[in-house]
Amino acid sequence: MNPVDLGMPMVAPRGVGRLRGDESFPAAARVALADEQLRRNLGHATSTIRAKRLAVVSELDDWEQLRRAGETIKAATMARLDEHLVRLEQAVMARGGVVHWARDAAAANRIVTELVRATGCDEVVKVKSMATQEIGLNEALADAGIAAYETDLAELIVQFADDRPSHILVPAIHRNRSEIRDIFREHMPDVPADLTDDPKALAEAARLHLRAKFLSARVAVSGANFAIADTGTLLVVESEGNGRMCLTLPETLITVMGIEKVLPSWEDLDVFLQLLPRSSTGERMNPYTSAWTGVTPGDGPQVFHLVLLDNGRTATLADEVGRSALHCIRCSACLNVCPVYERVGGHAYGSVYPGPIGAVLSPQLTGVEDNASLPYASSLCGACFDACPVRIDIPELLVHLRARHVEERGKEHRVPSAEQVAMAAAAWTMADGRRFARAGRAARLMRFVRGRRLPPPLSGWTGSRDVPEPPQQTFRDWWRDRDGQP
Amino acid sequence: MRVGLFITCLADTMFPEVGKSTVRLLERLGHDVTFPEEQTCCGQMHVNTGYQRQALPLIEHHVDVFEGCEVVVAPSGSCVGSVRHQHASVAARAGRTALAERATSLAARTYELSELLVDVLGVTDVGAWFPHRVTYHPTCHSLRMLRVGDRPLSLLRAVGGIDLVELPAADQCCGFGGTFAIKNADTSTAMLTDKMTAVLSTGADVVTAGDSSCLMHIGGGLSRLSRETDDTTPRPLHLAQVLASTREESA
């Protein structure tokens, strides 16, 4: 807003929140791949949810039109994001809400911490929210002596186990029911002594535990799935009803929302309320859709704060190709269909945003070099693009971010990498038919390495696969011989 | 029809039988095949690994070489995908508008083999004879980038003597993904293992596909498995090789 602030928008800062992993994707994936239990849990869960999604999506004749509508609305909204956000702010304030602008994770954490402190409370209940996971809000509140209680069942499991979420929708997807039973037994203070691993019994135990929290909480923190600029209305869609409890019972509600979540009007919402549940949980409709507009005297929270979070989103918006990652509605359909995610799980991606969308979103929020291995964490099979309800061309974005990485690395390092040298040599050879023909004939020399293991990085291939035996004659030499014959 | 053959760099240097079969098949169906000898590579490996600037001369070279052809065919879904979905946009992003337009025009008349046969030449029974148990793996780029759909299967179903068996979880990636197989070798291998398990479960003698690259990956895994277990494993064979087979000359 201030002209002196103009310039390159800032990426999400280091040292706060969870957008960066401790190690590269291939290293983290190696650990995950060795965990047989994890692979079984993931394989079972993703194939179940994939089948559910496919069934409800194929019911709709106009699914492709809905996807195109979703894509168009998001692109149009992003093109005038500044205007919609200011309209949203004005509408929320007009209805008695307070709006805060947070440039990054640190600012958002500071704002929320101060707001909670001002209420005199030292605990909050939480609605499942990716934005607050992204900024590491629970940790920031804990540092300030404020306990944050997750109320979504899977988030509760993750929090009890001092674990990290591994999926956008089902953060405990890496756990099976007997592991969950053990976690409850160990960490839930009021756990029934004879708790079994029956899903119903587990849900009931969580329900009783959470009910006490809902009834005593005075402050709730939520995220938002959508915000309507026209009226200043915020929405949360969910399955369990814990969100409804948090959004209605406490006196104070603080919502942290990424700035890309805004929609211009209720007509736009129509499209997304059809796209989201079918893509996300594989349901025709989600059980609970909560909408609130500012504060309503005598009904629900009497104090409402909306924290609008940038944290690298404006920087993402500045990339003409990459910006479509901001269209994501966090359904997680791309995770469920991704063959890479299915095998390594969410933790390998380092960021709270795993899977294909994480591989294109996290590097943009943090700057590509801080998550440089993520754009390569895909075989570009394209299943994610097909599943995406707003048609984000994730493979194209992955390739684009790889190019950004190669360019940025080239600027930073004066000495080219072995890969850069190899790629340049290959490009030189392949830019000319005769040079390429000579190189093709030379490939026959590979016959001598048949069956042997090649040196790194090609050992990545020969670790598990044989190298085919090069032919005696290339195709073009065969063609020339044949062509020469009468 | 006069068809320009874009052999692809991989088939040219490593799998020439795929090219020979494509030529034999098209000539058997009464068409002329030309082979522009200056051709090299579509540049997909460069683009997909992040080297778009280095790919630009390859794209320009490809357009120069094939521009004169009325119709171009490649025995690869992936390389046709690169021509159709990457060439123009890489050129446009580099500010090469004229090249982008030429690339778009060439892409519109570049076909993957099954597309050429079914859509352009209007044939599903190519008169092939291949009396073996065969399973078909639809490669990701032919499936999701080109949307070849069941064209390859309709061609295979018409092959004489064939015992075509369905591949379980066929739409799952084999884990190749170009440099992905090397940069993320462990994940790639986990995907390959599941693909091999599916292939083996069919009891097929031959696993076929429209891309030499994916077949090199699946075949490389099966070959390693065969050596480690002293057991025979299904033979990888390109779709062109199955379709080119006759009673007299079989792949």
- pLDDT tens digit sequence for A137-160: 999 999 999 999 999 999 999 999
Distance of residue A287 Cα from the nearest chain B Cα, in angstroms: 32
Helices (H), A99-176: 105-119, 130-135, 137-143, 153-160
The mean pLDDT of A394-422, rounded to a whole number, is 92
Scan for tokens 């736009």, then name that residue. A268
Q: How confident is the model at residue A469 (pLDDT cuts 50, 70, 90)?
A: confident
Indicate which of B26, B90, B187 best probes the interface with A, i.e. most A CBs within 10 Å of its own CB.
Answer: B187
Indicate which of A33, A40, A320, A380 best probes the interface with B, i.e. most B CBs within 10 Å of its own CB.
Answer: A380
* pLDDT recorded at residue A2: 45
**Contact assessment for residue A125 and residue A321, using Cβ atoms and an 8 Å cutoff:** no
Task: Dig out the tokens for A50 from the structure.
Answer: 């994939």
Beta strands in chain B (DSSP E): 2-5, 32-34, 71-74, 110-112, 133-136, 163-165, 206-209, 235-238
Q: Does B61 sit within 8 Å of A432, measured CB to CB?
A: yes
Distance of residue B204 Cα from the nearest chain A Cα, in angstroms: 20
Contact residues, chain B, for A433 at CB < 8 Å: 37-40, 65
Task: Dig out the tokens for A194 from the structure.
Answer: 């004879």
* pLDDT recorded at residue A449: 60
Stretch(es) of chain A classified as CATH 3.40.50.10420: 1-415
User: Of A162-171, A456-465, B109-118, which one has max mean pLDDT?
Assistant: B109-118
* pLDDT recorded at residue A3: 44
Span A18-36, pLDDT tens digits: 999 999 999 999 999 999 9
Residue B104 has pLDDT above 50, yes or no: yes
Superfamily for A1-415?
Answer: NagB/RpiA/CoA transferase-like (3.40.50.10420)
Nearest CA in chain A to B196: A465
Task: Dig out the tokens for A124 from the structure.
Answer: 């909050």
Q: Does B183 sit within 8 Å of A376, measured CB to CB?
A: yes
Helices (H), A9-144: 25-33, 36-57, 63-79, 81-94, 105-119, 130-135, 137-143
* pLDDT recorded at residue A72: 98
List residues bridging with A303 in a β-sheet: A252
Q: How many CB atoms lie within 10 A of CB B143?
A: 22
The mean pLDDT of A279-297, rounded to a whole number, is 97
Residue A187 has pLDDT above 70, yes or no: yes
Average pLDDT, chain B: 97
State the Cα torsion A76-A78-A79-A82 to the nearest 10°: 130
Nearest CA in chain B to A434: B38
Q: How many CB atoms lie within 10 A of CB A65?
A: 11
Q: Does A419 sit within 8 Å of B49, measured CB to CB?
A: yes
Percent of chain A scoring above 90 in pLDDT = 83
List residues bridging with A148 in a β-sheet: A124
Omega before residue A457 within 30° of 0, cis: yes
- Higher-pLDDT residue of A484, A275: A275
Q: Does B181 sit within 8 Å of A460, measured CB to CB?
A: yes
Give me Rg for the CA atoms of chain A.
26
Q: Does B48 sit within 8 Å of A463, measured CB to CB?
A: no
Nearest CA in chain B to A378: B180
Span A66-83, pLDDT tens digits: 999 999 999 999 999 999
* pLDDT recorded at residue A1: 43
Q: Does A25 sit within 8 Å of B145, measured CB to CB?
A: no
Scan for tokens 């199955």, then name that residue. B242
Class of residue B125 by CB neighbours under 10 A (exposed 0-12, middle 13-18, buried 19+): exposed
Q: How many helices (H) and strands (E) does chain B have?
A: 14, 8
CA distance A197 to B242: 52
DSSP-based helix, strand, coil % in chain B, nearest 5: 55, 10, 35
Q: Does A433 sit within 8 Å of B38, measured CB to CB?
A: yes
Indicate which of B6, B20, B51, B147 best probes the interface with A, i.e. most A CBs within 10 Å of its own CB.
Answer: B51
Distance of residue A377 Cα from the nearest chain B Cα, in angstroms: 7
Q: Does A475 sit within 8 Å of B7, measured CB to CB?
A: yes
Residue A485 has pLDDT above 70, yes or no: no
